[in-house]
Amino acid sequence: MAIEFRIHHLEDVESTNRVARELVLDGAGEDLVVVAGTQSKGRGRLDRSWESPEGGLWFSIILRPDIEPDMVPSLNIIGALSVARVLRNDYDMDARVKWPNDVRVEGRKICGILSEMFRGRSGDMFLVIGIGLNANIDVSCFSKDIRVRTTSIKNERGVEVDLDTLLNSILTQFGTLCSDMFSGGFPAVLSEHRSLVESIGSRVRVRPVPPEEAFEGIAVGMDRRGALVVELDDGRNRCVLEGDVDLV
Ligand code: BT5
């Protein structure tokens, strides 16, 4: 059963995740999507900033999922997979996932995801999944330090795309993958995600979030929640639910 999303368009906001949170606190309810033309204080994880000029697709999906907190990363996985599917199927791009939820093309980041969980006024848990996708942006407008690690649909394909069509396609994939997950199909979702994850089989350095000491090992797979399983040098496996991963 697909999710019927309501879409709330705004021009310029500080952050769509922030607007989403305010809407929930005002009683807006779930299955709402906040989209903005630009963000003046777009946020990444750990309070990093997210550059959000005009031409990008900046949006936040509000959900009220009936899941255990340790399954929240699975919804990030669904977000990343939805974007990757659309870029691959509709725009013929070789989109891959950098665990946990960056989408990259030829090693350059095109999309990032920030999920946040909080209580609404009724005490129910809400989840806001913020997705930033560099669509009709020329990456030369980004600051110097991220320009070289970044790409966009415009840079890859040489054309501009219709942002509403792009959003609807991603939301359709997102709704389908959510219903697959809730009807017991998460193993298949995970296996598709795994086939797109760049670092499986490689030696990685992991910086866990919340911050703990970094460690290295071979990324061998993902568990049922979508946590990365890393084989340490002493042969033990360690699972990481959230963190930053670099190839070494
Ligand atoms: C992320 O964080 O990748 C999550 C980004 C989520 C953005 C969306 S937009 C809609 C919603 N509203 C928000 O306020 N946020 C969400 P992280 O993995 O921490 O990566 C952040 C890093 O990516 C920054 O420190 C930069 O190095 C880089 N970066 C910043 N802007 C970028 C962009 N537009 N494209 C690619 N990389 C970028």
- Going from the Cα of 132 to the center of ligand 1, the distance in angstroms, rounded, reads 7
Nearest CA to ligand 1 atom 34: 51
Q: How far apart are CA 41 and CA 48, in angstroms?
A: 10
Residue where the block lists tokens 């995970």: 190
Strand order in the sheet with 57-63: 6-13, 32-39, 57-63, 125-133, 108-119, 102-105, 95-98
> What are 119-169's pLDDT values in tens digits?
888 888 899 999 999 999 999 999 999 999 999 999 999 999 999 999 999
Question: How many alpha carbons lie under 13 Å from residue 60 in its C-beta half-sphere?
Answer: 30
Average pLDDT rounded to a whole number, residues 115-120: 88
- Going from the Cα of 214 to the center of ligand 1, the distance in angstroms, rounded, reads 21
Q: How far apart are CA 96 and CA 165, in angstroms?
A: 21
Nearest CA to ligand 1 atom 25: 48
> What are 58-71's pLDDT values in tens digits?
999 999 988 887 77
Backbone angles phi, psi at 41, to 5 degrees: -135, 50
Indicate which atom in ligand 1 lies nearest the CA of residue 145.
27
pTM of this structure: 0.95
